[in-house]
Amino acid sequence: MRFIVRQAWREIRNSRSFCFFYSLNLALGLIGFLVVDTFQESISSKVESESRELLGADLALRARRPISPDELIQARKNLPAQTTESQTVDFFSMAAGPGGRSRLVKVVAIDQGFPFYGSFSLQSAGKLSGQNITSLHQEKVAWIYPEARAQLGVQVGESIQLGETTFRVSDLIEEESGLAFQPTDLAPKIFIGLGFLEDTKLLGTGNLAFHTHLFRLPEQIDANLLIQGLEKTIESPEVRTYSHQQAGHRAGRLLRYLSDFLSLVSLVALFLACLGSGFLFHGFLAHRLPELATLISLGATRSTTLRIFILQLILLGFLSACPAVLACSIFLPMLSDTISGISSTQVEITISPKSVLQTFLVAVFSGWFLALPSLQKLRKLQPAELFQEASRPGSRPIRQNLLYAIPGLFAFWLLCMTQANSDKLANLFFICFLVSLVLLYGVAGVGFRMGEKLLHRARLPLRLAARSLSRNRAGALTGFLAIGLGVLLLTLIPQTYHGLSKEIGIDQPRSNLPSLFLFDVQEEQLPGIRALLEQQNIPLQNLTPWVRGRIKTIQGKPYEKSLREEEELNNPDEQRRNAFRNRSFNLSYREHLLESEQLLEGVPFSGAYDPSSGLPAEISVEQKYAKALGLSVGDPMTIEVSGILIDTVVVNLRRVRWTSFQPNFFVQMQTGVLEQAPKTFLATVHQLTPDKKEKLQDSLVHQFPTVSILDVERTGKKILEVVGQMTWSLQFMAALSILAGLVILYCVVREKSRSQSWEMNLQKVLGSTLGDIRKQVWLEFGLLGGSAALIGTLLSLLTSYILSVQVFDRVWSFRWDLPLLVILAVILLSILTADFGVRKALRQKPVVLLREA
Amino acid sequence: MNPILKVSKLCKSYTQGDKEVRVLTQINLEVSRGERIAILGQSGCGKSTLLSLLGGLDNPDSGTIEVDGVELAKMSEDERSKNRSQKLGIIFQQYHLMRNLTALENVGLPLEILNTANHERQAGEALSQVGLSHRSSHFPSEMSGGECQRVAIARALVTQPSLILADEPSGNLDQKTGEEVMNLLFHLCSQHNLTLLLVTHNRELAHRCDRILELTEGGLHEQSK
């Protein structure tokens, strides 16, 4: 054993260049891996540990309408005897400060006992748990967030108006628990006692409010076990049940969307790094095989020789993981700020011992798996060849080497499955990658052979270059695969990111954004609002009716609440789909598509509905919603609006860019059907100066207190900030994969030029000029790099398209400049690196090189 | 006295395409301890094949090889490796030194494989016997061909093996250096009473051995000196 350790260490000590590039490559990949792993780990543990505080209870029922006494009685039958209850109502509304300044706020009316878990941190009163909150229930007081104080111009002790009554602001909130599982709020929260909610008279017909009933279970009772019973009991799809564990899942949902993409990037970075390191090890081992044969001839067993290299890989993996862990320990805490911008919860990013252990395992085993095909050469090594003058042990290619890549591929698939949140993303990525690998291999094999045939009459340097690629097939194929896969993965990330950024609207001109968004506008309020705006010469735009509907049948079958919900929540793909289900939905009607909508399948509306035709009404469904409901073009669907059943048929599916801030709906109906249905309206007001906007908001709230106004510019800015923070994370990871890609490219070309330097110098001995040889080198590596980059780029475009369609909701746009740039850069880099690698050999006297052989 | 090497009815053939090439047919050989044997033969006659079989680096089709009374065919691959490290010293025409190891480390390598204590001291002594103490910290790339071959000789001798298999040790060297290296090898074999099996093209060199055998048409034929 001592010999093995000593020899492994010597190999590392005396192969510094190889060890440096191997470790650098692996360390870069491991950084990407560790960043994402830590990110996911931190979020999961935070969400898990604080899920009770997030919900404020063990279980909750939540609906957009009051939960009926019958439903509550049914629910209680499923709960243990000592269960305690509380409730909350939350909704958006306008509030006005003492100076008349009004803003959109989120009103949360809480009942006694809330929250069961966690507490409120107030500026004056300090920390108050649910049992200690008394003032809110005894007096008409409100606790507000500091942002509301600034926006409404109110101080502690002064009053704010909510609907038809006023509340005295008694304290400022620093932190709160309970109901924090909803995504980032668009407006600051104001807490009042539930007993005083009715005085506001804000919850009239058509106003949207969430009613939540919260339950505290006796200790040792698992909320998840009770959920299924509750779901079966409460049949109304409008009432959703939550365990605190599910609330945790929901809180992490936004972060999980981000980590989906991040995990893809991390896999790319890690695989690129492993590919580079594997390629380096392959070259290194091929170089060392004659010496290993010597070692065997001196009496070392094959297993001893094998163990030397395995130990070497363990040591190198260990050495690569150390700087990666160190770098992440220093820089990862900075990510905490990024995350808190996206989530409503403060997430501390710290590296867990599990992540560190996992990184070390990946570092050690990735080396083994990648080295397996190369180590197989060691098993087949013939030391007897040492006696043969012209033979070089281990130089004969071994065909079955590829089989030894299978464990490595399997391990990579496992890694994809564990790293990606979504199985679908992981499997798609892996399949695309595998198919690309096979395609690259096939194309290269055929291409090199054809290249030699086609160019057999070309000028000498080109002829020799083509011949070299075809005859040194093992080396050329490995190089082609490494460069091709490197380019594929390298361009995949920016290409996918480009599509996503277009969807998010990073490049969207902000002038298109409305200044204010009005909702909950009652039909009878419309003339007054129009008149008010006309006085100030401001047009009311995008006036859109908003109707609440309920699905009764789909494809002729009654639409029932899915019982699979509980199982599905652990799978984000299903979770996303499921999020649309079990609910009533919003719908509207209009004649044509907006600019933020794109028709994907089917035909536009035929015009206004003709009641005498007897045909079902035409509807257009948003593609994600259609997918969640299993709807296709031509499918019938019955919708209930205010008790009236409407037969409809899906005439088209469309994609909606939700970040456009235009009034968009999951379901749009043709005109002529819903005009008489009870509805509210949405509208936008554009291009207001800050002063004008302030004045308009104030006068609207004064005259129409139930109309909610959203300052889209402020919200847009907040969303753009979040997008910016997401972009930062994505760019960091993409940069990491690009860096790993460049290092691998350098390693591949360097290794290949080194392996061929002897042949090139033999040509020199035979009379070729330096210029000729250099030209041949340029052509050979230019051809190799260029063709690999071209095929890799094409496959990358295809992969990014498939991923976009399947995972990122058809968000794909072709970016021509990047592939072109990558192909040119790879050709240039291949030529330069080859020239650099060969220059050293060319400078030597030929006799030295011949002696080396 | 038992022979140090006994070969009986050794046969080895290879397939080239569809054809079977019989390289060695019914080889019989007995070598006594301390004896120096030269094997002559033309290129491609099977000298290297014979050496690799004697070294346990390849398996014969039939026949037996006994080294110091132990039959190689009855050993597992690992046992053959152990036997090689304890009883055999091999010298190659192309030296086959480890490029990343110094001269001293190269010489000490067989001792390290055997887990010998004080391997550095013993390696240093072997290196000084071949007159290269001053080159102990040099790498093969920093030494001449003659020096590399002397390091290879020291490496073959350092474990004091029963049998030295030498494949054209001077084949890669100029005449003068080749003579120096061969003088050294013969001197050390005499000094330590080592058995030497020398494969060479050089008849003059062969005449310095106790016996000369010529490998022709797959068989070994004794030549008179």
The interface predicted TM-score of the complex, written ipTM, equals 0.78
Mean pLDDT score of chain A: 77
**Of the spans A116-125, A381-390, A799-808, which averages the highest pLDDT?**
A116-125
| Contacts B112 to A, Cβ<8 Å | 2-3, 6-7
| Contacts B113 to A, Cβ<8 Å | 3, 295, 298-300, 304
* DSSP assignment letter at A616: P
Q: d(Cα B43, Cα B63) in Å, to the nearest integer?
A: 24
Q: Examine the pLDDT at A147 and tell me if it is beyond 80.
A: no
* DSSP assignment letter at A398: -
Q: Which amino acid is at A176?
A: E
Query: Which pLDDT does position A536 carry in this prediction?
Result: 84
What are the structure tokens assigned to A722, written together?
A: 């979040």
Which among A3, A15, A302 has the least Cβ separation from residue B113?
A: A3
Which among A11, A293, A299 has the least Cβ separation from residue B113?
A: A299
How confident is the model over A253-269, as a mean pLDDT?
63
| Start-end of H helices in A617-689 | 623-629
pLDDT band at residue A575 under the 50/70/90 scheme: very low
Query: Which pLDDT does position A566 carry in this prediction?
Result: 37
Query: Which pLDDT does position A506 carry in this prediction?
Result: 47
Torsion of CA B209, B215, B221, B223, to 10 degrees: -40
- Angle ∠(A165,A171,A173) on CA atoms, nearest 5: 110
Q: d(Cα A69, Cα A669) in Å, to the nearest integer?
A: 34
Angle of helix A302-331 relative to helix A16-49, nearest 10 degrees?
Answer: 50
How confident is the model over A678-692, as a mean pLDDT?
83
Please report the sign of the dihedral spanned by the C-alpha atoms of residue A476, residue A477, residue A481, residue A487.
positive
Q: Which residues pair with A826 in a beta bridge?
A: none
Contacts of A437 (CB under 8 A, 6+ apart): A481, A485
Nearest CA in chain A to B58: A384
How confident is the model over A562-582, as a mean pLDDT?
44
Which residue's structure tokens are 């304890």? B86
How confident is the model over A28-45, as a mean pLDDT?
73
Q: Which residues pair with A647 in a beta bridge?
A: A638
pLDDT tens, residue by residue, A322-341: 988 888 888 777 766 665 55
Q: Across the interface, do B109 and A291 touch by the CB < 8 Å criterion?
A: no
**Of the spans A10-24, A356-370, A799-813, B76-90, which averages the highest pLDDT?**
B76-90
Q: Exposed, middle or buried by CB within 10 Å (0-12, 13-18, 19+), for A229?
A: middle
Query: Which pLDDT does position A159 carry in this prediction?
Result: 92
Q: d(Cα A780, Cα A785) in Å, to the nearest integer?
A: 9
Q: Examine the pLDDT at A503 and tell me if it is beyond 60.
A: no
Q: Examine the pLDDT at A38 and tell me if it is beyond 50.
A: yes
Which among A3, A295, A387 has the least Cβ separation from residue B115?
A: A3
Q: Which fold has domain B5-223?
A: Rossmann fold (3.40.50)
Query: Which pLDDT does position A257 carry in this prediction?
Result: 57
Higher pLDDT pick, A266 / A259:
A266
Query: Which pLDDT does position A499 carry in this prediction?
Result: 61
Q: How far is CA A14 from CA A9, A279, A500, A786, B98, in A?
A: 8, 19, 47, 34, 11
Q: How many CB pairs under 8 A join A and B?
A: 89
For residues A408 and A375, the answer to whether their CB atoms sit within 8 Å is: no
Best of B98, B111, B173, B177 to mutate (most A CBs within 10 Å, chain A): B98
Q: Across the interface, do A386 and B113 touch by the CB < 8 Å criterion?
A: no
Query: Which pLDDT does position A723 carry in this prediction?
Result: 53
Q: Which residues of A touch B (CB under 8 A)?
A: 2-3, 6-7, 10-11, 14-15, 290-291, 293-304, 382-384, 386-389
pLDDT band at residue A777 under the 50/70/90 scheme: confident
Higher pLDDT pick, A805 / A615:
A615
Query: Which pLDDT does position A577 carry in this prediction?
Result: 47
Query: Which pLDDT does position A260 carry in this prediction?
Result: 66
A374 CA: distance to closest CA in chain B (Å): 20
Best of B52, B97, B164 to mutate (most A CBs within 10 Å, chain A): B52
Q: Across the interface, do B96 and A294 touch by the CB < 8 Å criterion?
A: yes
Q: Examine the pLDDT at A572 and tell me if it is beyond 50.
A: no
Which among A6, A298, A386 has the least Cβ separation from residue B110?
A: A298
Q: d(Cα A169, Cα A63) in Å, to the nearest integer?
A: 28
Q: Examine the pLDDT at A452 and tell me if it is beyond 80.
A: yes
Q: d(Cα A534, Cα A662) in Å, to the nearest integer?
A: 21
Q: Examine the pLDDT at A617 and tell me if it is beyond 90.
A: yes
Q: Across the interface, do A294 and B77 touch by the CB < 8 Å criterion?
A: no
Q: Across the interface, do A299 and B97 touch by the CB < 8 Å criterion?
A: no
Which residue's structure tokens are 């979040």? A722
Best of B81, B114, B162, B164 to mutate (most A CBs within 10 Å, chain A): B81
Which residue's structure tokens are 């070598």? B31
Query: Which pLDDT does position A789 carry in this prediction?
Result: 86
Nearest CA in chain B to A381: B57
Q: Across the interface, do B85 and A299 touch by the CB < 8 Å criterion?
A: yes
Name the residue ranges covered by the structural domains of chain B.
Answer: 5-223
pLDDT band at residue A766 under the 50/70/90 scheme: low
Nearest CA in chain A to B156: A298
Q: Across the interface, do A3 and B86 touch by the CB < 8 Å criterion?
A: no
Query: Which pLDDT does position A708 carry in this prediction?
Result: 76
Lowest mean pLDDT among A51-55, A762-766, A818-822: A762-766
Q: How far is CA A2 from CA A6, A217, A308, B104, B137, in A?
A: 6, 61, 10, 18, 21
Q: Examine the pLDDT at A629 and tell me if it is beyond 70.
A: yes
Q: d(Cα A580, Cα A562) in Å, to the nearest integer?
A: 11
pLDDT tens, residue by residue, A511-536: 566 778 887 888 888 899 988 888 88
In A624-706 the beta strands, taken as DSSP E runs, fall at 636-641, 644-656, 667-669, 680-685
pLDDT band at residue A658 under the 50/70/90 scheme: low
Q: Across the interface, do B85 and A15 touch by the CB < 8 Å criterion?
A: no
Q: Examine the pLDDT at A792 and tell me if it is beyond 50.
A: yes
Lowest mean pLDDT among A137-141, A213-217, A773-777: A773-777
Nearest CA in chain A to B164: A298
Q: d(Cα A842, Cα A177) in Å, to the nearest integer?
A: 71
pLDDT band at residue A160 under the 50/70/90 scheme: very high
pLDDT tens, residue by residue, B191-213: 888 999 999 888 888 898 999 99
Whether B112 has its CB under 8 Å from any CB of chain A: the answer is: yes
pLDDT tens, residue by residue, A724-738: 555 565 566 656 665
| Contacts A295 to B, Cβ<8 Å | 98, 109, 113
pLDDT tens, residue by residue, A455-474: 877 777 788 788 878 877 76
Q: Examine the pLDDT at A181 and tell me if it is beyond 50.
A: no
Lowest mean pLDDT among A349-363, A669-683, A755-769: A755-769
Q: Which amino acid is at A424?
A: K
Higher pLDDT pick, A691 / A583:
A691
Query: Which pLDDT does position A454 carry in this prediction?
Result: 87
Higher pLDDT pick, A508 / A404:
A404
pLDDT tens, residue by residue, B114-164: 888 888 899 999 999 888 999 999 988 888 888 999 999 999 999 989 899
How confident is the model over A694-723, as a mean pLDDT?
69
A287 CA: distance to closest CA in chain B (Å): 11
Q: What letters, b where the CB count within 10 A reaches 16 and e where it falls short, cover A60-97?
A: bbbbeeebeeebeeebbebbeeebebbbbbbbbbbbbb
Q: d(Cα A556, Cα B154) in Å, to the nearest integer?
A: 92
